[in-house]
Amino acid sequence: MAIKTSGPLALWGDIGSEFGTPASFIGLGAMSSLAGFTTPHAMSEFYGFSRTNNFWYYSGRQGWLGNNVRATGTDTLQFGATMMGWFKVNSVTKKDQFLFSMGRDDRSNRSSIRVYYYAALNRIQVALWDRSRIRRVRREYPLHDNPTGVSNSSSGWRRDQPGVLHSSGMVHIAATWDGSNDFSGLQLYWNGGILNTSVNNNSTTVNMGNEVGFEFLAYGNTHFNGTNASIFDGDMDNPMFFDYLISPTDIGNYYDAGNEFPQDGAFVGPGPFYAQGFEAGGDLQAQFFDRYNHNPQMQGSTYQFLNY
């Protein structure tokens, strides 16, 4: 039940009860952080607030999250990168699907890292491009040869074969890169577990730690393609982007935490440079973390925000 929209508010009787928080742990700052409000805090922020109605995700066919203006303070990914988020595919047939990407500009795949579902071969590809737009490192994971639940490669990853899902009804997918030039430095995770079988792998002698940038990011698309046929078709939630390698243990911890935006900014380790909860029905300022001011926005069309 939502908090009332007018009149006096009681910190415990109205606000604390909405969260189910014991009276001994009540404080305006703590409750505001749980709600995803930024400072300065005020009781009036809670008028009409509903804890239940803040569990949101977005669903669509031609909508994605990305920034159009270059982020400030970013540099090359000397310490690798990690991208993760929650997905539920909704296409009626198998189709190419972009999951994440980061790169130097919003017009090409120059100096970029990308995670992509290649429908024809039922594979998820993780790949790196250099400053000259040459793909230098690649690793591809056949979903049917890994414990994903997408076992029929002819049918592929689609609505009728969504794979093994979390109790939320989505799958957590994470891709990591250790900053090296070898394909073994790329890793893909499905629901917190490492996928070990890969094919069509390529390495390079080029120092990719000096090549790949992250001024632009995208979730559910690439940062440079705009509206295209390969925007992710389905449900998405809680994207996180890191400018360093996340350990397998911490990937598992993020998966175990579920697809709710981490409360009180309680990220594992140093945390991401960008994270988004889509809370309050798609309000991108309600629960988010944005260290380098990427300021991404919802792009495209044909998407909506839904409540779990």
pTM score, whole prediction = 0.84
Residue 118 pLDDT > 70, yes or no?
yes
pLDDT band at 233 (very low <50, low <70, confident <90, very high): very high
Q: Distance between CA atoms of 84 and 237, rounded to whole angstroms?
A: 10
One DSSP character per residue, 162-219 reads: --S--TTS-EEEEEEE-S-SSGGGEEEEETTEEP---EEEE--SS-GGGT---SEEEE
pLDDT band at 252 (very low <50, low <70, confident <90, very high): very high
Per cent of the chain over pLDDT 90 is 69
The pLDDT value given to residue 264: 57
Domain boundaries, the chain: 11-54, 56-307
Reported as a single tens digit per residue, the pLDDT across 34-77 is 666 667 888 887 776 666 555 789 999 999 999 999 999 899 99
Reported as a single tens digit per residue, the pLDDT across 259-305 is 888 765 678 788 999 999 887 677 888 788 999 999 999 999 989 98
Residue 1 pLDDT > 60, yes or no?
no
Type of residue at 10: A
Residue 140 pLDDT > 90, yes or no?
yes
**What's the topology of domain 56-307?**
Jelly Rolls (2.60.120)
* Range with lowest mean pLDDT among 5-14, 65-74, 136-145: 5-14
The mean of the pLDDT values for the chain is 90
One DSSP character per residue, the chain reads: -PPPSSS---IIIIIIHHHT--GGG--HHHHHHHHTPPSSP-GGGGTT--SGGG-EEEEEEEEEEE-SSPPSS----TT-EEEEEEEEE--SS---EEEEEEES-SSS-TTEEEEEEEGGGTEEEEEEE-TTS-EEEEEEEEGGGTTTS---TTT-SBTTB--S--TTS-EEEEEEE-S-SSGGGEEEEETTEEP---EEEE--SS-GGGT---SEEEESS-SS--S-TTS--EEEEEEEEESSPPPHHHHHHHHHT-SSPPGGG--STT--SEEE--HHHH-TTTSEEETT----EEEEEEEEEEE-
The pLDDT value given to residue 2: 61
